[in-house]
Structure 1
Amino acid sequence: MSGTTETRPRGTRRWAIDLRPLRVPAYRRVWLGNGVAMFGFQFTAVAVPVEMFDLTGGSFWVGLLGVAGFVPLLVFGLWGGAVADARDRRRVLLAGGALLWASTLALLVQSLLRVGSPLLLLGLVAVQSTAFAITSPARSAILPRLVPTGLVPAASTLNYTTFTATSVFGPLAAGLIFAAWRTDVGLPVAYAVDALLFTVSFWATLRLPAMPPEPDPDGADAPRRAGLASIVDGFRYLATTPVLLLSFAIDLIAMILAMPRALFPELAQQRFGGGAAVGWLYSAIAIGAMLGGLTSGWIGRVRRQGLALVVAVVGWGIAIGLAGLARQLWLVVALLGLAGAADLVSATLRQSMLLVYAPDRMRGRLQGVNTVVVAGGPRLGDLRAGATAAAFGTGVAMVGGGLAAAVLAVALVAVFPALLRYRAAGVPDAGR
């Protein structure tokens, strides 16, 4: 599509979330379908741990759900990216979507039949994760084909804000189901809601045009096979592209060193007496990201995106560190909210840079790497936070991790300044 975009009115709308991508019918349908499907998925995300705990009575089995979800994501995320570069991306989305839908229906059926098998739950979660890993790179890689280059940051912000909103309101809605009905009734209702809402996403994908691989303007052809050689080729390209490599590195620094969520149960109990405090802690980052998205109109006008990405990561680390020092619940929640807003800026800019900087023939594979980084970083962060807290306490784990992330991010770009020099394509100079 054209790299030009429309000018945007000045005034208060400069700060409101940029809705111009919604004027593009294809993007609007995909955004609506994905948003509704993500909201529905939150019902399953709550129902599966509830069912597993109900069956086993222990948190160990609930923890195994994370392993069952992460391992397929790690393996098939990279392969899914290669598939997205070698095949028609619309067909990839339809095939993966059908598998995702089937696994949700299987969860519904087993709950209605009251099979009561923890192993079956683990298996179905692994299938869901596999389907997500296959479709996620293709879903992200199609964005530059749906909107002009200048609107990619705005479209990425809309997508991320929608995701955070569903992460806030979806679990709350799912909780209402389990408050209204017994678990044996609430489980099939939750799974049925997810399966029903996913039909909107499937409809939006069906309405997309064919999206076969495009040859690169330099004359390089898209890969014909989605094999190991194609994946290695993607990593080779990434290794020779400092801007994108550094964007992944700085995100891993932020997530591994400063992700605090594993500390929330102990923090809530030690400082705030438990109760509703843990809910506020778990919601704070998502709430901040959602509010940040609603006031994100300025992101699409940032030309020095590399510098802004670094500032956002440093802001994330400092906010997490300060939250570790705070002793009032409202202050901790506010600081975590600021961290969430910084995370929204970081995620949006990194995704925009990845989609615009990389050629179309590489976007699927790089999105596969992005899927693994986004999924793996926070989980490694949970491990780091838990181990540090066990040895030195939650305060050291949170404050030290946040400050370490900020310092290491600055040190990284000081040694390798390519990210700081990056300028966005298709973004007008300030003042235009």
Structure 2
Amino acid sequence: MEECGGSLRERDIMSEDRISELPEALILQILSLLPTKDVIATSVLSKQWGSLWKMVPKLEFESNDQKFAENVTRSLLSHKAPVLESLQLKLSDKCDAIDVKLERWAGIAIARNVREFVLKIFLSFGPSVTLPSSLFCSDTLETLKLNNGISLIVPCSASMKSLRTLHLHCVRYKDDESIRNLLSGCPNLEDFLLHLDYTEYATNVIIVAPSLKRLSICDYSRGVEPGGYVINAPCLKYLHIGSLKGYEFCLIENVQMLVEARLRNVSDIVNEKILGSLMSVKRLFLDLSPLKITYPTGCIFYQLVSLGICTRKEEWWNLLTLMLNSSPKLQVLKLIDYVPDYRKVGLVDGKWNEPKYVPECFLSHLETFVWTGYDWEREEEKDVATYILKNARLLKKATFSTRPIYSKELEERRKMLNELDGVVKASNSCHLVFESPKILY
């Protein structure tokens, strides 16, 4: 009987609808974490759930069947929430007449006070899709993210006063004015991402954004026409330039509040202002070749406390020397190989010339040194590591990690560790750490 009673009690518990007893606000929050197709499917559970999905503030659709367009239109028209927090659309060739449908969907979303609009279009052929002009005149839109297969024709009347985040990834532009019009219509923009691939390009990109805090630029178009970038953002705190090859200039003006900057693959720009304009930065990472970029004469980074340098550029050690001599308050130094799984094939060996005088940061500030992808077989890397350990007086911790090694290299690596460990260090409190590599057989 106890077993039977236990089974009955279990069935009673399972038959209870615990979720429906939760506050509606909490249920909507849970539903907003699920795929929209699963949320809509809950409408068959009961009368209460029949219309509950219509109040979910986030909708996401992906064109994976023939009824996709019909489902999107019906769902948007049925939506009853006072504010549509997020609408995400992933479209492909399976969706016919995308321009027409997108115009209607955007209009409905604007009427629903949409705050985030994410559009990703993947087309295997044919022209790109023009973004609906209604999106450029929204009082509620806070986030706009566009990916692939989209053309921007932005009118000078664009007005998105609430927009804080704008991400443009592989988007095509009618002309340079489209970007300028778009930015001028977003007076409160804080986060701007601009990535161009080999098929999209702009000639002169002028970024004037008084409230901008984050800026990320990756331009793989290689500057097919003469031109460059001008950046004027007095409130900018985080700057990432991932690629700018082939352009004539990159002018960064009025960035006195910069906290962090990352520069990669801008070696074709010889204008020294790209580094000279970053003297107020606190954290800096450089993946630049000292052979192809002009170092600003007399430039001192008085605010710089953390410096990272990529060790896969020719004569990178000379850039390190210049930066050490120009960073009197440096506390953290990181040398990084992005692909430490492989030997530095193709890089020319060289001789590192030690600084004539010990850098000021070695005498009074440097406390942390990290080398990721240290190659003990290269003489210049051994020289750099030895010099830092011998001269950094306040160094507290030095961490070395190497590429994966074969088992036959274990003895050679052990010898290298002993050599570094045997270096007479300027700091008596320095803790030397060797991270274990992956062993290949």
The answer, yes or no, to whether TM exceeds 0.5 is no
**TM-score range relative to shorter protein:** under 0.3
State the structure with more CA Rg. 2
Structure 1 or 2: more strand by fraction? 2
TM-score, length-scaled by structure 1:
0.20
More helix by share: 1
User: Relative contact order: is structure 1 or structure 2 higher (C-alpha 8 Å, sep ≥ 6)?
Assistant: 1
Normalised by the length of structure 2, the TM-score is: 0.19
